[in-house]
Chains A and B, each alone.
Chain A
Amino acid sequence: MRDIEITEPVEITLNGELVTAQNGELLIDACERNGSYIPRFCYHSRLTPVGMCRMCLVEVDTGRGPALQPSCMIPVSDGMGVDTESDGVAKAQDGVLEFLLANHPLDCPVCDKGGECPLQDQAYAYGPGESRFVEEKRHNEKPIPISELVLLDRERCILCDRCTRFADEVAGDPLIHFIHRGSHTEVNTFPGEPFASYFSGNTVQICPVGALTASPYRFKARPWDLEETESTCTRCSVGCRVVVESSRNKVLRLQGVDSDPVNWSWLCDKGRFGFQAGNSGNRLSRPLQRCESGELSEVGWNTALDSAASVISAAIAGRGPQSVAVLGGARLTNESAYSWAKLAKDVIGTDNVDCQLGDGLPAELVLGLPGASIDEVCEPGATVLYLGPDAKEELPILYLRLRHAADFDGVKIVEVGPTLTGLSPYAAESVTAVPGETPSVLAALLDGTSEHVEASALLRNASDLKVVIGRANLAEDEAITVQTADLIRESVPGATFLPALRRANVRGALEAGLAPGFLPGGATLAGTLPTGWQSMPAERGGGAAEILEDAANGRVDVLILLGSDPLRDFPDRSLARRALAGAKTVISIDPFVNASAEQADLVLAASMFSESAGTTTSLEGRVTALNQLVTPPGTARDDWMIAVDLADRLGADLGVETSADDLAEEMAGFSDAHVVLGDGAPVGDGVMLDISGRDLLTSAEVEVPPANAYSLRLVLNRTMYDKGTLLEESESSAGLAGESVVKLSAADAAPLGVDGSTQVKVTSEHGSVTVAATIDSRVPKGVAVMHHALGDVDAGTLLVHGDPVCDVRVEVS
C-alpha cells in the first residue's frame, strides 16, 4: 500500500475502534493502514477503482444503518462506521470467493502464480473447504499468446479488469479488452492485432491470478525458491525501482516497486525482461587478449591487468597522460564511475574522458541547469515544455508519468520537436520544428510572435515552467540544444529543467567526473583538488567526438572503452570506425564482446546488473541502491575493482579498504552534491543529489545552413527495441527490433512516388544508404526520419559529427 501523508484527518470507527484516516481516501486503504487488511482482487491503487470483483465488501454505516459496500469505491468521511469482520461481511466475502472459484481451475501446482496468488491464499484463509459447484467448469483453449511476451489463460482469469484497465488508462494501448458478455466474458485481443505494448509485462505483474504469464518466467521457478533484493533498473536513466528475484544464482524475474516519486510500480518491457542479457551464454567470463594469430583469447586477470597497465604506463611515459582516453562509464555504478574518474584524472592524469557518446547533452547543461524532478514536472496543473526525444521510445516510464499527468492531473504539455511522438496524443499542443529550427520556433513561441497561438499562450502564461530537455535528433548538433536552453533561461528566468538523458547512469557518471573539464561533484578543473586525490589533469581534454577524432588521427595511444560501444552507439559511424582503427591500443571493459570490443586488443570481463552492489543516479539526480543478488560468471568482476587493480599496478591507491562504499564515502567527503551518500547506501526511494548553486552554464550560437539541394532534413532517433548488445542478448527482446526504414510525410512522399514501402536511396553529402521508405503521419513536411541502430542499414554513415544538421536527398532506387 502506498504511504500517504495525512493532511486532512478524520475519525472513523473501524470494527468498534476510533481510528484516523485521511479525508476522502478510499476506505480499503484507510482500513489497511489501520491494521485491517481487506481482501481484494480488482482494486489496485494505481488504477481507477471499479468495484467489480466485490471481494472487498464491508459494512459501512454513514448514519443510515450498516450496508454492504465495496470498500475500494468508498471515500472515507468523518464519523463513518465500518465493520470488516461482521458475519454479514464474512458471508459476503466467502460467497464472492466461492463464485470466483466456481469456474477457476484448480491447477495451482502447475500455475506460475501458485504460492503467490491472492486467490489461492484467500481460498485457504476464508473459503469453504469443499466446492458446492458440481457443474462443469468453463473451458477455454489453454494459454494463448497475446503478445510476444505474454500468454493468457482465460480459464484462470477472474475478470478483474486490471490488465485491461492498465492497458487503457496507464499504457494508453487498449489492445486487450473484455469481449462478449456475462459468463462468456473474456479478455482478449482483436484477432490478428496482438497486445504490442512496450508495457505489456506490467499486466503479468498486476494479474492477481495466474491468467497472464510472461514467457521469460513461465515454469522457471516457484516463489518459495526465489531469493530477492530491491534494486534499480539500469536500462534507461529514469531509474525505476525494482525487485530482482533469482534462483540458483540466476536472475529470473524483475518486478516493479511502487515507488511514489518514480515508477509507481510500472516497468517497461525492455527493463522488465532485460535481465535476460545477464544470463546470456555470450557473457564474457574471463579477460581476453588479442594473441599473435590476431584472435581474442582468454587470459588470466594478472596477465590482462599487467598488459593494460603497461600500455597505459608506456603511453604516459611516451606522449603524456592525454594520450590515454576513456570513453564510456554511463553503465557503471556511481562508485565505479568515481573510481574510473579518479583513475583517469588523478592516477593517469588525462582529461580525455567522456561518459557520453556524442548523443547526450553537454555536461555543463546536465550539471548546471536548475533541476526539476519527475514529480515536479508532473505536478498537477503544471505546464511542461517538452523538448526531448520520444519519451515512449527512450524513457518509457517518464512517458507513463507524463501521460498520467496530462490525462488525470491537468498537466499541459507543449511539445516542440522535429516529429510528433508517442507523447503527442496527450500533449496539449505539439509544434513541429524542422531540425535546426527549434531555437527560432521556440523564440517565437516565447515572445508571442508564433502562429501557434495556443501553444504560445500556454508557455507564456505558465507561472512555473518545467522543461524536459534532451536530444530529439542525433543528426542535429548538440550545440543547438545548448542554444535552446540559453533561450529558455533568458526568456523564462524561473524555468527548471529535467534532462532527458538516455543511458542509465549518465547523470551519476557526470556527477562522478567522467566528463572533460570536470571533477566529481560538478567541480571544474579550475577548482580545488578533491580530498584523497594527488593531482588533477593539467589541461582540459576533449569529449567523445574529439577523442574519436584524435584516435582516428593516431593521437590516442590507449583508448579505454568503459562499457561503451562506439561502433554501435556513436551517431557518426564513419568516425567511430576510423577511431577504432586509429587508436594504438583499445581496451574494452564490458560484459560482452560487443562490436567495438571485437576490435579491441584487450577485453576485461565486467560484471553487470544485479551482480554488483552500489548506487546509481537517475536523470532527475536521484541516487538509489543497486544491490547484488547473484555472482558474475567466471572471473568477471566489478568495474571499480578493475580500476583499483589497474591503479595499483600504476603505483597508486584508490583508497578502497573494504568495498565500493568506501568510494561513495570518499566522494561524499568533498562533493557537496554527494554529501547525501555519506550515511551509507540509500534505501527505498533513495536520496536526491544536492545540485543547488552551480554556475556552469555556457552558451552557444549555431549557424544553421539554409536547405540546399538535399531537400530533406534528417532526424535520427531511437526506438525502444534496437540492435544494441544488451537487447540482442536478452532472449525475449532479441528480434523485436524493427527493420530500418526512412519515414516521410505524405506531402514529401507523393512527389517522390513513394507509396507504401518503396525502396529508396537516401543520400547526404557524406554517404548514402538504401532502405524502404514509408509514409508516417507523425513526420512533418521537410523531414526524413531514420532510426539509430536498427538492422544493417547504417543511417549513421550519412552524418558527420559537428555539422549543425544533416540534409539528405531521397530518390526511388
Chain B
Amino acid sequence: MARLTPDNLLLARKIIARFPEPRSATIMLCHLAQEQDGYLSPEAMEQVAELIGATSAEVLGTASFYEMFKMHPVGKYCVNVCTNISCQLLGGEELLEHAEEVMGIRSGSTTADGMFTLEDVECVAACTEAPAVQVNYRYFNRVSPDDFDELLEDLRSGELSRTIPSHGTLGNVRQDLHGDRVANITSPSQQVEPAWFPNGDSDEGPAK
C-alpha cells in the first residue's frame, strides 16, 4: 500500500494547510507516508510531490537528505545504538558490538525475520544517560549488554508493543488545528503588517 489511505490523505491535506507554502509540508508528509508503510516508497514520494506541487525528483532530493527516511523496507523495530562521544566514553561502541553479536547482523542491516534493523547512530540527545539506545526513536537509557538482551526479548515477545509502535510512527499525539481558532495561515504574499504591531517599525517597533 504505497499511496496514502483516504484518512491519511485527508490528514495530509490538513498538514499542508498549516504551512504558508505547501512545500513546507514535505518532511511532515514523508513522515506520514513512512508511518503508514514503515518506509518511504517511490509511489509515496510521487504522491507527496503531487500534493505539494513539486516534482518527484525534488521530493527524493529532500527526503534522501534526511537519514530517518528509509527508502527500502526496514525491520519492525529500528534499534539505534549511539556511539557518539558521550556514549563512546561509557561503552557505546562495545554495546554496538554486543548488539551485532546477539542479533547476528552488522550495523546497517536487518534481521532475517524482519524484526530488527540495527544502526549505529550519532548523538541522540541523551548524553547524560549513556550509553543510550533508541528503538523506533523511543529512548532506553544507560543500557548495559544485559539490559540490551532483555530489551530484545521484550520486543520479540510483544511486551513493549504498546509503548513502541512499529517503525515510522512518531508522536502518538498530533497537533490539532481547528479552523475557527487559527489566526491566519496564508502564503507570505498574502500576509500584511500585523494589526497589533503599532505603527510599523519606524516608530514603536523593536529598537534597532
Q: Do chains A and B touch in the complex (CB under 8 A)?
A: yes
Chain A residues packing against B (C-beta within 8 Å): 173-181, 188-193
- Our pick among A177, A191, A192 for the contact of B58 (Cβ within 8 Å) is A177
The answer to whether B57 and A180 touch across the interface, beta carbons within 8 angstroms, is: no
The answer to whether B64 and A176 touch across the interface, beta carbons within 8 angstroms, is: no
The answer to whether B65 and A181 touch across the interface, beta carbons within 8 angstroms, is: yes
Q: Is B81 an interface residue (CB 8 A)?
A: no
Q: Which residues of A contact B127 (CB under 8 A)?
A: none
Total contacting residues, chain B, CB less than 8 A: 15
- Our pick among A178, A181, A190 for the contact of B56 (Cβ within 8 Å) is A190
The answer to whether B57 and A175 touch across the interface, beta carbons within 8 angstroms, is: yes
Q: Is B61 an interface residue (CB 8 A)?
A: yes
Please measure, in the bound complex, the distance between the C-alpha atom of A175 and the C-alpha atom of B49, giving whole angstroms: 12
Chain B positions 61-95 with a Cβ under 8 Å from a chain A Cβ: 61, 64-67
Please measure, in the bound complex, the distance between the C-alpha atom of A134 and the C-alpha atom of B68, giving whole angstroms: 32
Chain A residue nearest in CB terms to B42: A191
The answer to whether B57 and A181 touch across the interface, beta carbons within 8 angstroms, is: no
Q: Is B15 an interface residue (CB 8 A)?
A: no
- Our pick among B45, B46, B58, B64 for the contact of A180 (Cβ within 8 Å) is B64
The answer to whether B57 and A193 touch across the interface, beta carbons within 8 angstroms, is: yes
Q: Is B115 an interface residue (CB 8 A)?
A: no
17 contacts between A and B (CB under 8 A): A173-B55, A174-B55, A174-B58, A176-B57, A177-B61, A178-B61, A179-B57, A179-B60, A179-B61, A179-B64, A179-B65, A181-B66, A189-B57, A190-B46, A190-B57, A193-B55, A193-B57
The answer to whether A177 and B57 touch across the interface, beta carbons within 8 angstroms, is: yes
What does DSSP make chain B's interface, helix, strand, loop or mixed?
A: helix
Determine how close the nearest CB of chain B comes to the CB of A766; give it in whole angstroms: 40
Q: Which residues of B contact A176 (CB under 8 A)?
A: 57
Q: Which residues of B contact A191 (CB under 8 A)?
A: 42
Chain B residues packing against A (C-beta within 8 Å): 42, 45-46, 54-61, 64-67
Chain B residue nearest in CB terms to A182: B65
Please measure, in the bound complex, the distance between the C-alpha atom of A190 and the C-alpha atom of B41, giving whole angstroms: 12
Q: Which residues of A contact B55 (CB under 8 A)?
A: 173-175, 177, 190, 193
Please measure, in the bound complex, the distance between the C-alpha atom of A175 and the C-alpha atom of B60, giving whole angstroms: 10
Determine how close the nearest CB of chain B comes to the CB of A199; give it in whole angstroms: 15
CB contact under 8 A between A181 and B60, given known A174-B55, A190-B55: no
CB contact under 8 A between A180 and B56, given known A190-B45, A191-B42: no
Determine how close the nearest CB of chain B comes to the CB of A185; give it in whole angstroms: 9
Please measure, in the bound complex, the distance between the C-alpha atom of A574 and the C-alpha atom of B129, giving whole angstroms: 84
Determine how close the nearest CB of chain B comes to the CB of A76; give it in whole angstroms: 25
Chain A residue nearest in CB terms to B66: A181
Known contacts A189-B57, A190-B45; 15 further A-B pairs (Cβ under 8 A): A174-B57, A175-B55, A175-B57, A177-B55, A177-B60, A179-B57, A179-B64, A180-B64, A190-B46, A190-B55, A190-B56, A190-B57, A190-B59, A190-B60, A193-B57
Chain B residue nearest in CB terms to A177: B61
Please measure, in the bound complex, the distance between the C-alpha atom of A190 and the C-alpha atom of B48, giving whole angstroms: 13
- Our pick among A175, A180, A189 for the contact of B65 (Cβ within 8 Å) is A180
Q: Which of B45, B46, B61, B65 has the most CB of A within 10 A?
A: B61
Q: Which residues of B contact A179 (CB under 8 A)?
A: 57, 60-61, 64-65
Chain B residue nearest in CB terms to A189: B57
The answer to whether B64 and A181 touch across the interface, beta carbons within 8 angstroms, is: yes
Please measure, in the bound complex, the distance between the C-alpha atom of A565 and the C-alpha atom of B6, giving whole angstroms: 54
Determine how close the nearest CB of chain A comes to the CB of B67; give it in whole angstroms: 8
